[in-house]
Structures are given as C-alpha cells and as structure tokens.
C-alpha cells in the first residue's frame, strides 16, 4: 500500500517564507491526486518536500507507512517528473529512460528490456535511438514519464506535467496520462494551476492558498460545493456568482430547511440548515445552475435585463443586470437572449450556497 500521509507539515525557506504552512493530507494507494492553487500558493514546494528536495521544517511525511521526513530523496521510493522534463540532451531515449537503473548498477541486458517495455507502454517505440532534441514536446514529456516509471518508485510526483505543451497536444497528453495512471495504478500526485486540468484528471483535488489547504475533495465536490469563496472563485471555467444577500426566512414552508435569501433583483430559495433568519451572507451560485426564462416566474426569482452574451461554444454566458448587480448565467447557444431583454433567473435551493459574509466559509 503506497499511500502518502502528511501531518502538520511546514516548509519554511531561509528567507522566512512559510511556503507550506501546517498541512495535513492523506493520498490513498493508487490515487491520482492534484495539488491545485494560484501561483505562489506553495504547491511546488509541497511536491518537492514530499520528494525530499526541500527539507520539512516541522511535521512528518510517511510513504507506504514508512516515515521518510528525514530520508534522502533517492531512498524515498518516489519518482519525480519536472516541469522542463530535465532530460539529458547527450543521451538517447533509451539511455534517458534507463538512467536511474544504470545508477543502481542494473545489468545492461535488463536495462534494455525495461527500456523497450516502458517505451511500448508510453508509445515511444521506434524512438529509442533519438536524442531529446530530435523529439516533439509531447514525446519529450513521455520520455520523462517513462524514466520516472522505469525507476519503479512507489509514488509518482509530477510538477505541472502538461504546461510545456501547446493547447492541442495538452488535451491529447491529458487523456494519455489519465489512461496510463489508471493502467499502472501508481499513486500519483501532480501539481497544476489549471483548474480544468485538475477537474479532468484527478480522483481528488487539494486546493491550496498561502501554504494552507482550503478544500480537499473530488472534482465534483469542489465544483458543486466549494467550501469557501476562495475555492468558489478559483474553480470553474465561468466564475461562480457571489452576491451579497440576507436570509429573510429561515424556512420557507416551515419544515424542510429551505429558506428564502434576498439579493439584488429579487430572491432565491436556499438550504438553510445552520443559518439563522436575518443573517447577512454571501450567496454563491454557479452560472450553470441558474435557469433563464423570458417570462416571469412564480416563487423566488431574480429579475433583470440582459447586458451582454458571450459565446462559449455550445453554451453562451449571459450577463444579466439585476438591480445594479451583474449575474452570469449559461444557456444553450440557440437560446441566447438579445441585449436589453427582460429576463427572470431561477435556481433550485440545493444549488444556492450560503457563505459567511466575514470568513467566506460555507454555511449551508
Ligand atoms: P507556481 O505555480 O508559480 O510555481 P507554487 O504554488 O508552486 O507557484 P511555490 O513555488 O511552492 O508556489 O512557492 C511558494 C512560496 O515560496 C512563494 O511565495 C515563493 O515566492 C516562495 N519560494 C519558492 N521557492 C523559494 C526559495 N527557493 N526561496 C525562498 N522562497 C521561495
């Protein structure tokens, strides 16, 4: 079982920057795990601390149940792929892939068979004699992955594995990486600042801010139920609407924990289990979960005027002015309303999230 257990981990650089600031994390055996967050949040430092390339200032790291906090990098059982791949330019593909085995003095015949097997797994057959300079970006990335896999680490650590590829190759490499990870079943932690990439690839995502964990969950959980307004803002290709509001009735029908929250332009239903009536909140609702109609609606709704519509492909993002507050809603492209049209927005209570106005933490 090659899980990773991190407890109370802090990594402080000599200049005093607390890049990782008291983190607890468990990565399960065989899991594809993403570290996600904005530039400077500490995700690369965390990955490098797991690898042993940075020293933990406090806390502990266990890999496969063994405490490796003070173990040198080569003896932790991890294989890391760097953002720039770090291939040896003077070695051919075969030599690059088997370099870690050569260091361990594995016999040449065994190395050759590992090279050809790994090259097969990573679709690099026929390229074993080439030097890195004679490969495309996507092929170089696969050689770096092949080298990591051939080293037979228990854990694979990937630092922004797709960031050096152009948009088309990146999509192709994403699919390849996901399938490879599933086939090999190797515990994998990858760093990305791209929320779409994390949502598409990971079994679970750790969202970081300023060296701290802000949410840990499946792609569906962090998308549909962001634990705070920071995650709500960071996840999603169209940003979540975050609107100042007030809970006017903690229970709309007296029984089921669904109340009414008033925001500019009207009101919406919301699940209100732990929120008292009268509370000033931030109302979070994804553009994807709002429904736009040209007609007035019965019950709680927002009313406003269409400002602009942006084509996103099969969907359009419509910006609606609700009493001076701009609200985004996605609609099928063919239902895009004209600017100036009067519209109504509704949402089911389960999709309307309430956040503490001060702390930004999820209430409902
Ligand atoms: P990016 O996506 O830009 O790579 P990141 O989330 O990976 O960012 P880190 O590179 O881990 O973040 O950096 C976290 C913090 O530590 C930043 O404030 C950064 O300036 C600082 N930092 C990183 N490396 C060092 C270093 N060697 N010495 C001092 N401070 C550092």
Residue 96 shares a structural domain with residue 32: yes
3 state SS of 341: coil
Q: CATH no. for residue 124?
A: 3.40.50.300
Per-residue model confidence as pLDDT tens digits over 289-324: 999 998 777 889 999 999 999 999 899 999 999 999
In the chain, the number of structural domains is 2
Residue 211 Cα to ligand 1 middle (Å): 10
Domain ranges, residue 223: 4-234
The answer to whether residue 364 sits within a structural domain is: no
- Whether 255 shows a pLDDT value over 70: the answer reads no
Smallest CA-to-CA distance from 75 within 155, 160, 179 is with 155
* Mean pLDDT, residues 215-232 taken together: 96
- Whether 218 shows a pLDDT value over 80: the answer reads yes
The answer to whether residue 163 sits within a structural domain is: yes
Ligand 1 atom with the shortest distance to the CA of 54: 27
Return d(Cα 296, Cα 275) in angstroms, integer. Answer: 29
Residue 333 shares a structural domain with residue 246: yes
Contact 138, 174 (CB under 8 A): no
Residue 64 shares a structural domain with residue 130: yes
Return d(Cα 123, Cα 177) in angstroms, integer. Answer: 12
Smallest CA-to-CA distance from 4 within 65, 47, 87 is with 65
272 is written with which tokens?
Answer: 């209100």
The answer to whether residue 151 sits within a structural domain is: yes
Residue 44 Cα to ligand 1 middle (Å): 7
Residue 87 shares a structural domain with residue 186: yes
The better pLDDT of the pair 32, 257 is held by 32
The answer to whether residue 107 sits within a structural domain is: yes
The answer to whether residue 310 sits within a structural domain is: yes
Q: For a ligand 1 pocket test, name from 11, 39, 40, 53 the mutation site with the most ligand atoms within 8 angstroms of its C-beta.
A: 40
pLDDT computed for residue 343 by the predictor: 96
- Atom 20 (ligand 1): residue with closest C-alpha? 40
Residue 107 shares a structural domain with residue 250: no
Residue 126 shares a structural domain with residue 263: no
pLDDT computed for residue 170 by the predictor: 81
pLDDT computed for residue 237 by the predictor: 86
Return d(Cα 102, Cα 130) in angstroms, integer. Answer: 19
Quick one: pLDDT band at residue 250, thresholds 50, 70, 90? low
The radius of gyration of the chain from alpha carbons, rounded to an integer in Å, stands at 25
The answer to whether residue 33 sits within a structural domain is: yes
What's the CA dihedral at 58, 61, 65, 70 to 10 degrees?
-70
Q: For a ligand 1 pocket test, name from 10, 16, 41, 45 the mutation site with the most ligand atoms within 8 angstroms of its C-beta.
A: 45
Does ipTM exceed 0.90?
yes
Residue 30 shares a structural domain with residue 165: yes
Contact 158, 142 (CB under 8 A): no
pLDDT computed for residue 1 by the predictor: 58
Centroid of chain to Cα 225: 14
pLDDT computed for residue 242 by the predictor: 97
Residue 25 Cα to ligand 1 middle (Å): 19
* Mean pLDDT, residues 223-240 taken together: 93
Per-residue model confidence as pLDDT tens digits over 91-122: 999 999 988 888 888 888 888 888 888 888 88
- Whether 41 shows a pLDDT value over 90: the answer reads yes
Return d(Cα 116, Cα 208) in angstroms, integer. Answer: 39
Q: For a ligand 1 pocket test, name from 10, 11, 42, 83 the mutation site with the most ligand atoms within 8 angstroms of its C-beta.
A: 42
Q: CATH no. for residue 303?
A: 2.40.50.100
Return d(Cα 163, Cα 161) in angstroms, integer. Answer: 6
Residue 24 burial (CB count, 10 A): 12
- Around ligand 1, the residues with Cβ closer than 6 Å are 13, 15, 17, 19, 37, 39-45, 193
Per-residue model confidence as pLDDT tens digits over 66-93: 999 999 998 899 999 888 888 999 999 9
């Amino acid at each position: 079982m090659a899980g990773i257990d991190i407890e109370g981990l802090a990594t402080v650089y000599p200049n005093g920057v607390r890049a990782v600031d008291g983190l607890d994390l468990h990565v399960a055996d065989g899991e594809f795990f993403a570290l996600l967050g904005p530039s400077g949040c500490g995700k690369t430092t965390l990955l490098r601390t797991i690898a042993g390339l940075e020293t933990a200032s406090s806390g502990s790291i266990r890999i496969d149940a063994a405490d490796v906090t003070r173990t040198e990098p080569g003896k932790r059982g991890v294989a890391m792929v760097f953002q720039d791949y770090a291939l040896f330019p003077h070695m051919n593909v075969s030599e690059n892939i088997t370099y870690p085995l050569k260091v361990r003095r594995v016999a040449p015949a065994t190395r050759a068979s590992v090279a050809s097997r790994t090259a097969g797994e990573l679709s690099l057959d026929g390229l074993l004699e080439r030097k890195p300079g004679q490969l495309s970006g996507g092929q170089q990335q696969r050689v770096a992955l092949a080298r990591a896999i051939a080293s037979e680490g228990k854990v694979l650590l990937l630092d922004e594995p797709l960031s050096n590829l152009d948009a088309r190759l990146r999509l192709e490499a994403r699919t390849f990486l996901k399938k490879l990870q599933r086939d090999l079943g190797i515990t994998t932690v990858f760093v990305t600042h791209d929320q779409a990439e994390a949502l598409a690839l990971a079994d679970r995502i750790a969202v970081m801010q300023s060296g701290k964990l802000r949410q840990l969950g499946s792609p569906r959980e962090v998308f549909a139920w962001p634990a705070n307004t920071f995650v709500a803002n960071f996840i999603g290709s169209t940003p979540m609407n975050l609107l100042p509001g007030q809970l006017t009735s903690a229970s709309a029908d007296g029984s089921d924990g669904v109340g009414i929250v008033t925001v500019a332009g009207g009101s919406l239903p919301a699940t209100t289990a732990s929120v008292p009536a009268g509370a000033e909140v931030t109302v979070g609702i994804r553009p994807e979960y709002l429904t736009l109609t040209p007609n007035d609606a019965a019950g709680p709704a927002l009313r406003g005027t269409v400002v602009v519509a942006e084509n996103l492909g099969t969907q359009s993002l419509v910006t609606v002015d609700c009493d001076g507050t701009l609200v985004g809603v996605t609609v099928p492209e063919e239902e895009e309303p004209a600017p100036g049209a009067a519209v109504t927005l509704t949402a089911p209570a389960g999709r309307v999230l309430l956040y503490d106005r001060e702390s930004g933490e999820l209430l409902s």
